[in-house]
Structure 1
């Protein structure tokens, strides 16, 4: 593929725009659907769009070949993401203000560097230690709304679920680090493998009767743009990119645009502690990216 930085930037900005809307979509959809119901419908929508993309790109045969080579791997990956990851993340959004759940979720890259030490045998660099310190200090400021001395959490369970989701997301990427299969085909397999798990979970722990059209609309939007098209747009951007670092830096626009949308669309008051904590997390991630 011929490199084209302008095309890469356009695809990256498209992905960032889609990711910027999902926190608002999560919060609105949770009015009508539970976390598990959202996971089921969103995963259905995402699986459908990923299969269409695989067909369009001539990768349908890769699905069967890849699965037969490593069936247990894809079952495990599907259990981690989207099943457990999104179920816990959506529940965190249900318990917390969206600004808190979203900002805490951005610490996943820092969690990844910590888990890479015991799992992949990597060593922590000085930059990693600084990033970890800044990132989790920012997370603590956000979770307590700045009340660090009292450690007054609005929802300890919600904070715990948000941070646990970062561990699951980091594990997903660590386990996939040595997977040489096509990334879009692999993601499609993960979603397809997860569908029976989510369906059974809804049957056992929730209500399969989902009559709210608003819930269906919101969850379908999430499946299409958070789980499906945004990922494809980001991969496309990386393929066209002459400079990967310039593209990667654009992702840090997303949380701030998301905060603006949360305030404008659903009227969520943005706490000063959220801005301070999020800036610390982003600065930590910038430092971590430096060689």
Structure 2
């Protein structure tokens, strides 16, 4: 029987890449996001490339009533979700704490923490009743080490790390696997969103070294999911070779100056 995987934030970047990869691996896919046109595009791409069935849900993970309504609307054949990928998340702004924009803080907290909690709260009871399932939480190097001007974003990813560990403990008696995948620098829309559409500033983040791409993280998720039932890949930190910490990079322009 084909497994059903639900991926939040699947309209672009990591979410889209993970949806495509799990479809390639033989899963039927539920994709979620706030942009209906993007969902339709991803749905068509999956259907063209793979034999997977696809079901789209357009809602905002920040709104618990929308999450409840969307999951309740699933047809019976889609209700038994085997894999939940908590991918929806973002960084907004890069300011010191005394100059932070409160609206940016709220957006990050509501998406990265509350959104993950809301979708997990609605999906996990079915996994518990079946004593089967796998939850993948997309964390970040920012949840392992704080960096300058990123206090609130890092705090949200530290929260993901703590929630991941708590989920693993709470769901242990039910045979549910819980995995955290923490990327370093990945070239997606991440920096463009962080810098509020400033493409030039976003591009500079990835200058001078080979960054990860979304497929690298999708590969990590695929690996975790593909393990036999008695194996749980609990925590993965995936970094570019040129990156050692959240802020320490070996860049080509630095090498030329030596």
Tell me the TM-score normalised to structure 1 length.
Answer: 0.29
Tell me the TM-score normalised to structure 2 length.
Answer: 0.32
Higher relative contact order (CA 8 A, sep 6+): 1
